Chain A
C-alpha cells in the first residue's frame, strides 16, 4: 500500500526552505527517504525508526510522528543540488518498501 506524499511538486529559489510530507493509512515502524535526480537511480537519504532513531548520510532533517503515521522531510537553505524527486518508503510485506509517488523539487538560482 503506497504512502501518500505532498506536495506533488515544488519550485524554490536557492536559499529557501521546503517541507515534503509522507503519510500512511497503516501503522509505521519506519520511514525511508530517497532522492532521485533526473535520469539516475534513487539514492538513500535517511531512515527514521519508531522510537526516534535515525540512520542517514545527509545533513537533512526529518521528523516521524508514529501516532499520526506521518513523516516530514525538511530542506532548509536549499541548494541547486537539492533538485530532484524525493520518495518516501514504508514497510510492506517482509520489510520490502512501498514507495510514494514522489515529490518533484526544483531549486532555481
Chain B
C-alpha cells in the first residue's frame, strides 16, 4: 500500500442497512478525516481524529460513527443508511492535525436506495 486507500470503490445499499466504509493509510499520519461531497455543497467534514484513540464531530456527523483503534485505520459506519446519505465519501490524513497538508483517498461512491 502506498498512501491512503478506501474500500469499497462504490456501493449500492438498501435503506436501513448497516455499512462500514474502510480507510487505511500507511504514512503513519496522526490525523485522519472523513468528508462527504455532494454536488453544489463542496466537501463537508463528517468526523475527524487527531490521534489514535480520539475522535471528534465535524459539520455533518448525524447518522455516522467512527473509531480510531490504531494509527492506520479510520472506518466510517452508517448504522442505518438513509437515501440522504447518498454521496461520495473521501477519507484524508495529515501528518499532524495542525496546519498540514491533507492527503485524500480515491473516494467511495455510495448510493442508498
A44 at the interface (CB under 8 A from B): yes
Chain A: how many interface residues by the 8 Å CB criterion? Answer: 27
B103 at the interface (CB under 8 A from A): yes
Residues in A neighbouring B35, C-beta threshold 8 A: 99
Q: Which residue of A lies closest to B54 (CB)?
A: A94
Q: How far is the CA of A101 from the CA of B40 in the complex (A)?
A: 6
Q: How large is the interface on B (under 10, 10 to 19, 20 to 34, 35 or more residues)?
A: 20 to 34
Q: Are B97 and A43 closer than 8 Å at their CB atoms?
A: no
B65-106 contacts to A, CB under 8 A, are 90, 97-106
Since A41-B106, A41-B107, A87-B42 are in contact, a sample of 18 more A-B pairs with Cβ atoms closer than 8 Å, ordered by chain A residue number, is A2-B44, A2-B59, A29-B99, A41-B90, A42-B90, A42-B104, A44-B102, A44-B103, A55-B99, A92-B58, A94-B50, A95-B99, A96-B56, A96-B97, A98-B59, A99-B45, A100-B42, A102-B42
Chain B residues with a Cβ under 8 A of chain A: 31, 33, 35, 40-45, 48, 50, 56-59, 90, 97-107
